[in-house]
Amino acid sequence: MNLQRSIGAALLVCGVVLLVIGVNASHSIADQSTNLFTGHFTNATAWYIVGGIGAAILGFLLLLFGGGRKSI
């Protein structure tokens, strides 16, 4: 496994962890009350979810396309 695929695997794992943290945070009492009155989740929860999705997608793409053959 080359460096790009290793970084891709790490990003994929970190992205999934951030996504799980964000989803769990969205079910908290504080976040539910904020959502009730404003219609939006807190900024921290939104960033966890968006960052997790972005990191997971980037990591998945690096796993798929990273480390192709080098031409001489």
Per-residue pLDDT tens over the stretch 5-14: 999 999 999 9
CA distance 50 to 58: 12
CA distance 32 to 2: 43
Reported as a single tens digit per residue, the pLDDT across 45-65 is 999 999 999 999 999 999 998
Query: Is 25:44 a contact under the CB 8 Å cutoff?
Result: yes
pTM: 0.81
Output the CA torsion sign for 23, 26, 27, 28: positive
